[in-house]
Copies of this chain bind each other. A is one copy, B any other.
Amino acid sequence: MSATSYHHGDLRNALLEAARDVLEEKGLLGFSLRETAKRAGVTASAPKHHFTDTRGLLTALSALAFRELADELAAADQVDGSRAERIVAQGRAYLSFSVRRRSLFELMWQADRLDLADPELLEQKSRAFRVLDDRVRGDSAPLLDDGDPRMAATFTRWSIVHGFAHLTIEGSFGTDPTAAQATATALLSAALGFIVDDA
């Protein structure tokens, strides 16, 4: 791979990185494939060889984001302590990710702009969920077994954490992101403390 080569060599990854930049800078509303190609130093028609369309690119980016989220949740789970403490640590990590990667986090839940049937996206999303779900950790059980009542606790914790994350980045806890995150983190810890049955 040479910088001056006609062939880029790693355009797929370069486009994903450029897309992250554009997303961070312009927000989801201002995102465009043309701008992304331009940032990657390539013409507007080049991306076609790697992603069928904008949806495909955003879907791949979203899968990558879910992978990062899963990694951060897994790292947080390594904390020493009780099950309750590990769950709280994961919640904080989730919240931190949502604030730090705001636009990316928003993208991850925009069904409109993603191909929800994409295998890689499904895989990474379910991996993140499986990390959250301490009950089945390490397990390769399929995600979302609707009939399984044991899923309830995980869904509930997920909803709580997700609700705090969403309201935080949306500004409902104040417009200063750092302060809002601090407020949300404190409340989240307390709420999870109520919920988690630390047997």
Query: Interface residues, chain A, CB within 8 Å of chain B?
Result: 27-29, 109, 111-113, 116, 144, 146, 152, 155-156, 158-164, 166-167, 170-174, 179, 183-184, 186-188, 190-191, 194-195
Residue of B whose beta carbon sits closest to that of A27: B112
- Copies of this chain in the oligomer: 2
CB distance from A10 to the nearest CB of B (A): 30
Q: Are A191 and B146 in contact (CB under 8 A)?
A: no
CB distance from A115 to the nearest CB of B (A): 13
Residues of B within 8 A of A184 (CB): 159
Residues of B within 8 A of A28 (CB): 112
Given A162-B163, A166-B166: A155 in contact with B171 (beta carbons within 8 A): no
Q: Are A159 and B170 in contact (CB under 8 A)?
A: no
